[in-house]
Amino acid sequence: MSAPLPATTGDRIFATTLGCLPTRAISRAALSLAGARRRWLKNALIRAFLKGYPAIDMSEAAEPDAYAYDSFNAFFTRRLASGARPAPDDATALVCPVDGTLGALGDIEAGQLFQTKGVAYDVASLLDDSTLAARFTGGRYATFYLAPSNYHRVHMPSAGRLQATRYVPGRLFGVNPRCVRAVSRLFARNERLVSLFETENGPMALVLVGAFIVGGIHDVATGRVCPPHRRAARAQRFNPADHAYERGDEMGHFCLGSSVIALFGADVMAFDDVLAPGMPVKLNAPLGHCR
C-alpha cells in the first residue's frame, strides 16, 4: 500500500471550515455562473482563471483560443488536441485516465482501500454494492486528484465494455489533498458515479467522485448524471456490445474539478514501480501492465 501522509492540524481546520459552508447551494451557484454565455462575463471568468493558473498550456487544447469558448464551463471542459496525449505502443500497458496528481494506490486489502496513511474505507461503501465489491477482492486501486488547472475529461485505462453505472448520492466535501487527509472515508461519503467495465483481463471500475464547487458529472453513455443532486441511488445496466471503448477513449467529464478512483480485479495488473503518492501524472502515461 502507498498512501499520503496523515492530516495536520491545519488540514483539519481547513476541512472543518469548508464543511460548515452550504456546499450544495454554492456548487449550484458555481455551475450556473460557469454556464453563463454573456460574452463579457464568461471572458472575465476565463481571464481571471488564466491569471490564477498561468501554467495552463492552451496550445494542447483542440481550440487553443481560450476566449473562443461560449462559456467558462466549455473552456474548463475543453478537449485536448488530437495527438496531445499519445498512448504507449505497448498493448499490455494500462494508462492513466486523467491529467492530475496521483493519490493513494496499491492493493485492496480485506476489502479496503487506503485514503491516507492509516485511514481506510471499504470498497462496498465506495461502490454502494457489496456484490460488486466482491469482484474486486484482492485487486488493486489508484486515486487521482484533478486540480482546477488540469484537463478535466476522464478516459479509459484499458479497452472495455460498459456493463452498468450507479449514481450514489452523498455529500460534497472538498477533495483537494488537505481534505483527503482530514475527512475520514471522504470518497465513500461524497456524491459519485460508479461505472463498471468488463475487460479482457476481468472487471474494472472507474468512480467519478463529486466535490465542493463541482457543478456536475457527465457520462459519455448517458449524458449529464448530476445535477440534480438526488436523494436515492440510481442504477442503470447496458448492453456491453453497444458501449465498447478502446484504451484512451473518453468515458466522462467533470464540470469543475474532482477525483477519480480506478479499481482493477485480482491478478489483473501490476503498477509501475516509479509511481508514488503526490506525483503529477498525465493522461495516457503508463500506469501499470496487465499480467
Active site residue 289: no
Spot the catalytic one: 11, 99, 128, 219. Answer: 99
Active site residue 155: yes
The side-by-side arrangement of strands in the sheet containing 93-95 is: 93-95, 286-290, 269-271
Q: How far is the C-alpha of 52 from the C-alpha of 55, rounded, in Å?
A: 9
Spot the catalytic one: 27, 71, 258, 259. Answer: 258
* CA nearest neighbour of 218 among 195, 244, 241: 195
Q: What single-letter DSSP state applies at residue 201?
A: T
Q: Under a CB-based contact definition with an 8 Å cutoff, are residues 261 and 142 in contact?
A: yes
Q: Under a CB-based contact definition with an 8 Å cutoff, are residues 246 and 50 in contact?
A: no
The single residue listed with the C-alpha cell 450544495 is: 24
Spacing of C-alpha 156 from chain mean position: 11
Q: What single-letter DSSP state applies at residue 124?
A: H
With 0-12 / 13-18 / 19 or more C-beta atoms within 10 angstroms meaning exposed / middle / buried, residue 222 is middle
CA distances from 256 to 78, 100, 159, 214, 278 (A): 11, 13, 26, 5, 21
With 0-12 / 13-18 / 19 or more C-beta atoms within 10 angstroms meaning exposed / middle / buried, residue 213 is buried
Number of residues that make up the chain = 291
Active site residue 99: yes
Please give the span between the terminal C-alpha atoms of the chain, in angstroms, as a whole number.
19
Spot the catalytic one: 152, 155, 243, 253. Answer: 155
Q: How far is the C-alpha of 246 from the C-alpha of 267, rounded, in Å?
A: 21
Instruction: Write out the catalytic residue numbers.
Output: 99, 155, 258
